[in-house]
Structure 1
């Protein structure tokens, strides 16, 4: 009986190891709005060496909540509270849990063996903590996507679809990390060059260590 239990336990350990080996790679692009994350994601999706899916927080929320946001804006609008207070209530009650769902979706896809390029903005400590808690046991390649503030402003002006000054307002919070597996300066490198450096890192079989190091730090909740 004891031998049978040991055998079953051994089989379970092997099975869990097989599941872990099949986890999909999470290429986590950390950068402000207009830093070049989407352009790099596009290049990673175009290449045929490693298959990726792209998960963007903007697309995720738009697909999930298009009609819901219309309902909230129509039925729950208030003229009594200040706009700033309304934004905070919206973030605390609605947006933050949905961002946690976004990270849970990434975890689910990785557990299914799907390689994912994640395009989001880490400008909120509470959301970052949720991300760290959910993905710490998954193979996360943490990539810093950077460029100068001057270049961010120039790109915003060219795009015309972003609020002026948005990237600068995110800058200090988004780039508060000093640990990355790879850092990519999109002023110096084209998107395809950035994608190739990411692929080279993955094929080198080097350890993805930066995300785990971040988890060990005390990240405050704002």
Structure 2
């Protein structure tokens, strides 16, 4: 059985990761399983443990950090299990290391994907576009403070999520549509080159 491929989309909330994942599923000739933050939060994580692996930077909920760490490892073990059974996997994630008690470095998770081809994509979106999307999104998304200032958690996401900033491919969802981003990712996969970001991130830590 041939091992499946894995594409990880890393970026801040409302950067467009989920839309790109859905577009890739629609365009790809072979089936891609969509795992990641959206799947875990909407269908797996108990309400009392929310926001789970969507816990934002800044150490606001140190009581959840142990749960978050184990949840992330479980997610990556699941991604590896799917790939080892021949499924291609695309997963939207939002990694950061801005916790109080948790060692949240990405390398701990990426080590679960040994011997699997992994393409890591940085999903970027300018802050103005992020704020606009938050205003028109359903769900408990922060928009602005009472004094009109940008809330600190939104700024922290922009600062922390792209550390260490090592990617096989970077996309800007303000410049390209989800379909265009998905087409670019699939094009890069077809080149069958060796993607090295996973090993570089592990080495960086």
TM-score by length of 2: 0.80
Tell me how far apart the structure 1 counterparts of residues 69 and 161 of structure 2 sit (CA, whole Å): 17
Tell me how far apart the structure 1 counterparts of residues 129 and 10 of structure 2 sit (CA, whole Å): 17
Higher Cα radius of gyration: 1
State the match for 2:122 in structure 1: 144
Match of 1:87 among 38, 61, 67: 61
State the match for 1:108 in structure 2: 81
CA distance change for structure 1 residues 85 and 24 in 2, over 3 Å: closer, same or farther?
Answer: closer
- Structure 2 residue ranges without an equivalent (≥5): 51-57, 98-102, 144-150
Report how far residue 205 of structure 1 moved: 0.9
State the match for 1:212 in structure 2: 199
Tell me how far apart the structure 2 counterparts of residues 129 and 64 of structure 1 sit (CA, whole Å): 24
Structure 1 window deviating more from structure 2 (155-164 vs 39-48): it is 155-164
CA distance change for structure 1 residues 167 and 26 in 2, over 3 Å: closer, same or farther?
Answer: farther
TM-score by length of 1: 0.75
Tell me how far apart the structure 2 counterparts of residues 86 and 216 of structure 1 sit (CA, whole Å): 29
Tell me how far apart the structure 2 counterparts of residues 175 and 65 of structure 1 sit (CA, whole Å): 25
> Which structure dedicates a bigger proportion of its chain to helix?
1
User: Secondary structure, in 3 states, of the residue corresponding to 1:152?
Assistant: helix
Tell me how far apart the structure 2 counterparts of residues 198 and 88 of structure 1 sit (CA, whole Å): 36
User: 2:106 touches 2:202 (CA, 8 Å); kept in 1?
Assistant: no
- Describe the superposition over 1:24-72 as per-residue Cα deviations: whole angstroms up to 9, x where unpaired: 1111001110111011011011124232110122322442343xx45x7
Report how far residue 179 of structure 1 moved: 2.3
Is 1:182 equivalent to 2:169 in the alignment?
yes
State the match for 1:47 in structure 2: 27
User: 1:106 touches 1:116 (CA, 8 Å); kept in 2?
Assistant: yes
State the match for 1:38 in structure 2: 18
- Structure 1 residue ranges without an equivalent (≥5): 1-18, 74-83
Tell me how far apart the structure 1 counterparts of residues 167 and 6 of structure 2 sit (CA, whole Å): 14
Report how far residue 208 of structure 1 moved: 1.0
Report how far residue 87 of structure 1 moved: 2.2
Count of residue pairs the alignment pairs up? 184
